[in-house]
Amino acid sequence: MGINLKLKRKLAQAYNSPSQKARVLTEGWLKNEAYCPNCGNEYLEKYPNNTPVADFFCENCSEDFELKSKSIGFGKKVLDGEYESMLDRLADAHNPNLFLLSYDLSSYQVSDFLVIPKQFFIPEIIEKRSPLSTTARRAGWTGCNILLDRIPETGKIFLIKDKQIKPKEDVCAVWQKTLFLREERKIQSRGWILDVMRCIELIRKKEFTLADIYKFENMLAIQHPDNRHIKDKIRQQLQILRNRNYIQFTGKGEYRII
């Protein structure tokens, strides 16, 4: 059975506030239509409301998912919760994967639905917002944004894009490709691998050379001001990516994305 893009308006009839309506509609849709990108299980279970860990889980493989939804597409940033607790959460193995859902209110249809696997969450993609002013009810409270443009494309897995449903096998295959990152317990080393993955994508070629990727040396130096051996670091990440079957070495200083 295929995925139905329609949000069930009936579900929200009993609610008045627009944010509650949106929550009920999108959670209801996810429970009925989404599947687990890790194991392919067709049913995701909902945690009781206000569970701090996550919103949904897969009974089959125990992956946790958080859902954020919006009536217009996500730009370069997604608003998230309190900054310090977000950073604490990243260090925790129980950090959930993040589903992002955007819907079109004129047709009550889901337009985009993607998942960011938890291994892509590193402190560099979390932006601290300005604390709330002293006159605010929660004065001093500091929120955060998730910087979507700092995440490699392989970390933004679309199940639905522009109302087009992606084949489930493709979604699950892309998901499997980067699970190795979870074994990298040190968040800092994971940051380096992710940055090099992003540089490879920015080259926009299936086959590339060491010279292509060295062009990003300055960019990486800005992102990692404490490191003076950027080229060594790049080559080290390429080795890791080769060992993990993410890229292939095809010749001296020549690579291919798998």
Q: Which residues bind Zn ion (CB under 5 A)?
A: 36, 38-39, 41, 58, 60-61
Token duo for residue 92: 């925790």
Q: Which residue has the tokens 């490709």?
A: 177
Query: Which residues, including other chains, have CB under 8 Å from residue 127's CB and lie 6 or more apart?
Result: 77, 144, 145, 146, 147
In angstroms, give the least distance from the CB of 172 to Zn ion: 10
User: In Å, what is the CA distance from 154 to each residue of 10, 32, 35?
Assistant: 36, 26, 19
Q: Tell me how far, at minimum, the Cβ of 57 lies from Zn ion, in Å.
A: 9
| Minimum CB distance to Zn ion smaller for 60 or for 109 | 60
| CB-nearer residue toward Zn ion: 58 or 238 | 58
Q: State the CB neighbour count (10 A cutoff) for residue 231.
A: 12
Give the Cα separation of 110 and 158 in Å (integer): 12
**Nearer to Zn ion among residue 61 and residue 136 (C-beta):** 61
| CB 250 to Zn ion: min, Å | 35
Give the C-alpha separation, 35 to 107, whole Å.
23
Give the H or E element holding residue 31.
helix 18-33
Smallest distance from Zn ion to CB 48, Å: 20
Task: Identify which of residues 38 and 102 has a Cβ nearer to Zn ion in the complex.
Answer: 38
User: Could you identify the residue written with the tokens 């096998």?
Assistant: 169
Closer to Zn ion by CB, 34 or 58: give it: 58
Shortest reach from residue 97's CB to Zn ion, in Å? 10
How many Å apart are CA 29 and CA 44, to the nearest integer? 11
Q: Toward Zn ion, which CB reaches closer, 97 or 102? A: 97
Closest CA to 55 of 43, 45, 69, 70: 45
Q: How far is the CB of 3 from Zn ion (least distance, A)?
A: 16
